[in-house]
Structure 1
Amino acid sequence: MFIAIKTEESTLKGKISFYCKSLDVTRQGFHNYLKYKNSPWKYQSLADAMLDICAEDECNDTYGRVRMHQALEQKQPDGINVPSERTIYRVMEEIGISHRPKRKPNGITRADKEARKSVDLIKRNFTSDKPLEKCVTDMTQVKCLDGKLYVSAIFDCFDSAVLGLAMDTNMKATLCEKTLENTYKSHPGIRGCIIHSDRGTQYTSGIVKKSVVI
């Protein structure tokens, strides 16, 4: 673009070689730019679909490439073949809707190094062919005006549905115990299910282990 401006769209022939050499650009590359610079962007339809998704809800403005890819797969816009996540990321960068985390997220639970290690029954396979067969659990914190709210939930690996949750102003083991109780009340068939968690002190505590056994 700089060379095109300086050479008045290549009309000043004598300056093309000088600028190409100075900027380490080939003459062929420069002329290809002139040839295709007014051509429509091949990802314009995809970009418009992404902007439409962001405009649907103010929360959608925080979408990263993974969630944007999922949203496109779900909507299946007419005439658009949903590309890879990498391509979606490049297009989001181009139109200015990509987001980078300000800091590396850290888990809020802390591993209990003294606790006996349990057998890993999931083995990194977080999918299931049947409901209430394999579940995962974790907790997160939500910043509120009057402090922090801790939310604990259990998800079904079959369809990622939330089977039960509990909330409290602290992240003690009783929060995990309440999550298990609420889940069992809503889905009694969860008895015998594999529930996978990290090795945080809340999950390795005696009170939670007792609830799991019961």
Structure 2
Amino acid sequence: MRQERNYEAIQELLQETSYSIRLLCEVAGTNRGAYYKWLQRKDTKEDQWNKTLVKAIKRLYKKLDGTFGYRRMTAELKRKYKCPINKKRIYRLMDKINLKAVIRRKAKQYKTSKPEHIAANILNRDFKAHCPNEKWVTDVTEFKYGEGKKAYLSAILDLHEKRIVRYNLTRANNNELVFKNLNEALETLSEDEHPLIHTDRGVQYTSYGFNRIIESAGLHHSMSRPGKCIDNGPMEAFWGNLKCEKYYLHKHEYQTFQQLAKAIEEYIYFYNYERLQLANGGYTPMEY
């Protein structure tokens, strides 16, 4: 693999510069005869398949703003070509053409609050659900737009198929945002569905108002332990995906609340209906 990269680099430099083959081979530490032999070789079926995959990888990487690493890239290519593709092959090819997923930013540290109502950590990091509407997780996250303006997104995620059940975006981070989102999600349930809902210890979730809605709907409330954001891991992971794959890449474009809202709406639709989930066996949440 290393020598092949050297040969390709020599070939590119010969087209772009006036350096001699002898000099370039000496700099690359490779044999000139081996380079000529490499030039005259014919592509094997394996080489042709790799070239096809590289072209597809580059198109997907550009289309998805560089947000997919080799694992998700493998899932997309398996679906596209309808054949087995080893993730190690995609890793090698992406490494060869120097393509890597964009790096996520570190999450902010948890800020403690004085709770009016608390609940035990019933979920206890058991993030598997046997059917839809068995376990929900929820949280609120912050976005900035325009000149120092802020917006807040409340979302509820179903742990069975990893779909976003309901979401609301407002300019104010208050109880009304969380209560409205929960009430809209409850309207999607049948009479015999009473999911466990897990939250962190934010002021909205420890309020008497939130607890009244929970009790009235016959839901069980689970809370993360103080300072343990991993207890709400799937929700934190979704925020990471949303911000890494959409928000941070186009942050400068969001000058108005409407522009930000449209981008979030587009991403959540993409997430539910088009984004393949490895945990779902390569299906989107709605397909699963």
TM-score by shorter chain over 0.5: yes
> Which 10-residue stretch deviates more, 89-98 or 173-182?
89-98
**1:77 to 2:81 alignment:** yes
Work out whether residues 110 and 199 of structure 1, in 8 Å CA contact, stay in contact via their aligned partners in 2.
no
Determine the structure 1 residue equivalent to 2:17.
none
- When residues 113 and 160 of structure 1 are mapped into structure 2, their CA distance, relative to the original with a 3 A threshold, is same
Regions of 4+ moved over 4 Å = 1-4, 33-39, 87-90, 113-117, 188-191
Q: Among the aligned pairs, what percent are the same residue?
A: 24
Q: How far did residue 128 of structure 1 move?
A: 1.5
**1:182 to 2:184 alignment:** yes
Which of the pair is proportionally richer in helix?
2
Q: Deviations over 1:141-195 (max 9, x none)?
A: 3333362221111111121222222221122233211111111123354852101
Work out whether residues 149 and 168 of structure 1, in 8 Å CA contact, stay in contact via their aligned partners in 2.
yes
Structure 2: runs of 5 or more not aligned: 1-5, 11-22, 217-288
Structure 1: runs of 5 or more not aligned: 12-30
TM-score by length of 2: 0.52
Give distance in 1, aligned partners of 2:38 and 2:204.
Answer: 60
Determine the structure 1 residue equivalent to 2:123.
122
**1:52 to 2:52 alignment:** no
Work out whether residues 153 and 167 of structure 2, in 8 Å CA contact, stay in contact via their aligned partners in 1.
yes
How many residue pairs get aligned? The number is: 187
Give distance in 2, aligned partners of 1:113 and 1:205.
Answer: 10
SS of the residue 2:204 aligns to: helix
Q: Which has the larger radius of gyration?
A: 1
Which runs of structure 2 are paired with 1:1-214 in the superposition (5 Å)? 1=6, 5-6=25-26, 9-10=31-32, 40=47, 43-55=50-62, 57=63, 60-65=64-69, 66-73=71-78, 75-79=79-83, 81-83=85-87, 88-101=90-103, 103-106=105-108, 110-112=111-113, 118-145=119-146, 147-189=149-191, 192-214=194-216
Give distance in 2, aligned partners of 1:134 and 1:158.
Answer: 7
TM-score by length of 1: 0.67
Larger relative contact order, structure 1 or 2 (CA cutoff 8 Å, min sep 6): 2
Q: How far did residue 110 of structure 1 move?
A: 3.2
Work out whether residues 135 and 194 of structure 1, in 8 Å CA contact, stay in contact via their aligned partners in 2.
yes
CA RMSD across the alignment: 3.6
Q: How far did residue 203 of structure 1 move?
A: 1.8
